[in-house]
A and B are shown apart, each in its own frame.
Chain A
């Protein structure tokens, strides 16, 4: 159990250059326990002095078997697994999964639920970017940013806790709507955050954007051209930093994103700094979306937040005492779940990191036959050798931060 793996070295020789085998360059192991690999990522570096000649990522240290485990659970049970994939984007994962299930079974979601979904997904996007900003600047030796970012993140987690009872693993979004409506304190909490956060963004800009130390560490580092970025499958801010205006919220809108007025920030340089600027701008855009969402939400006060289709969505508690039919549906759904057709769908959404896609296949029964998560971190990590070639080890740390990986997302 606790023995280290034995691998014959011959199998791995093709990963490094001949110079490394002759001992001219140094092979260095970075991770899986390393403070700036953002989790349990292992990198095998081939170095000449401090220059990275080649970098071979080794992932799987957080492989959780989520895809297999979801096959063993019913559709609604499998949702708790989705939270724990990309643990910085829990609401977004729920959203992607629920949208896929809804697409598979053809379920409609009431407008109020869609608006709440959008607000929470954007709050989660801000929270995720705050972790990125905190850890990226921590890696570049700006300790106080970490403390500031986590202070703000705490406010968002409080809002998530307010609506769902859990700080991180909310499972609040359900197939066909939401678990329940938001409490009335939600409006004030989000409004407070909207009023409070813009000044904080200014503060971050003041601390970093024109900071010569930060610029030296980020400008011209980890450059990737637009064509390469597309070929490597990069998405999200990592792609937009290279000048490609692509976001699933605009290209393939879901959950009513087409009704919101927002911009997709892009930059052309394609380096760490450009990706930084894109994400910083996304803070502002997410705030705009939340603001519009809140207005819509007030117009839809009292509207239902769950679909009325009782074959898929359990009836409200209040009906159980009076309606036999509701009781039957309740019993059926919580003991046996619902059946989905033997078809397959792919549902892409825009996670803070990039395109998060759910490939969901049913077999006519009440359990998913196959779930595959197309996760942005997995694909971004793959491009790491291209991004880091010829740079210093210290730059590698900046690049890992800038592609914003979450190992739970990449290893699944």
Chain B
């Protein structure tokens, strides 16, 4: 492992309550949501993790506890190292603090996890839906949201489905 990455992980481990997870040379730190902004601040200012590569969430419904993990992929261009933070967010109060002030491109990502998972970024400047229509109900990427599958037409049920389909007739 890269020395600087090692150092960064040790520093965060010493200062905050985190759990480390390693798989296939990728390092993740599972953190508490309340520490998120502080950890990002440390990583950005002391260890030059200057780019937020990716921000997403995972839903572990129904068994997983806590329900969501919000995944932050940080990258340092100067040192070419990458570190993943995973904030474990409970399902009954899905909020994470915003890191928009540290990484400006978190803005749209946080809107996206609000839109897709219903995880709210506290303190966000513009909390609106981003991908779905404004009047959409529900958060599609949650596991309890159905895929919205439409029955496929075969010979035996073609007519029946055809009758149900809302075709536009002139």
Binary interface encoding of chain B residues 119-135 relative to chain A, with 1 for a CB under 8 A from any of its CBs, else 0: 00000011011111111
Q: A230-B77, A343-B24, A370-B58 are in contact. Are A7 and B135 (CB under 8 A)?
A: yes
**CA A230 – CA B53 in complex, angstroms?**
10
Instruction: Check B71–A359 contact: CB distance below 8 A.
Output: yes
A77 to B: closest C-beta gap in Å: 14
Instruction: Check B23–A374 contact: CB distance below 8 A.
Output: no
Please indicate the chain A residues that have their CB under 8 angstroms from the CB of B50 in the complex. 230-231
Instruction: Check A411–B131 contact: CB distance below 8 A.
Output: yes
Instruction: Check A344–B23 contact: CB distance below 8 A.
Output: yes
**Interface residue stretch chosen among A85-93, A328-336, A377-385:** A377-385
**Interface residue stretch chosen among A59-67, A129-137, A176-184:** A59-67
Say which residue of A1, A7, A11, A355 sits within 8 Å of B53 (CB atoms). Answer: A355
Q: Is the interface of A mostly helix, strand, loop or mixed?
A: mixed
Binary interface encoding of chain A residues 236-258 relative to chain B, with 1 for a CB under 8 A from any of its CBs, else 0: 00000000101000011000000
Instruction: Check B130–A232 contact: CB distance below 8 A.
Output: no
Cβ of B95 within 8 Å of any chain A Cβ, yes or no, is no
Instruction: Check A383–B105 contact: CB distance below 8 A.
Output: yes
A390 to B: closest C-beta gap in Å: 18
Instruction: Check B26–A346 contact: CB distance below 8 A.
Output: yes
Please indicate the chain B residues that have their CB under 8 angstroms from the CB of A65 in the complex. 140, 147-148
Say which residue of B24, B105, B132 sits within 8 Å of A232 (CB atoms). Answer: B105
Within 8 A of A (CB), among B95-128: 103-105, 107-108, 116, 125-126, 128
**CA A68 – CA B147 in complex, angstroms?**
7
Instruction: Check A357–B73 contact: CB distance below 8 A.
Output: yes
Instruction: Check A233–B82 contact: CB distance below 8 A.
Output: no
Cβ of A28 within 8 Å of any chain B Cβ, yes or no, is no
B126 to A: closest C-beta gap in Å: 7
Supply 19 A–B pairs (Cβ within 8 Å), ascending by A. A60-B131, A60-B132, A63-B131, A65-B147, A230-B77, A231-B105, A233-B51, A344-B28, A345-B24, A345-B26, A346-B26, A346-B53, A346-B73, A357-B73, A359-B71, A361-B58, A372-B56, A379-B105, A382-B105
Chain B positions near chain A (C-beta within 8 angstroms): 23-24, 26, 28, 50-54, 56, 58-59, 71, 73, 77, 80, 82, 84, 103-105, 107-108, 116, 125-126, 128-135, 140-141, 145, 147-149, 166
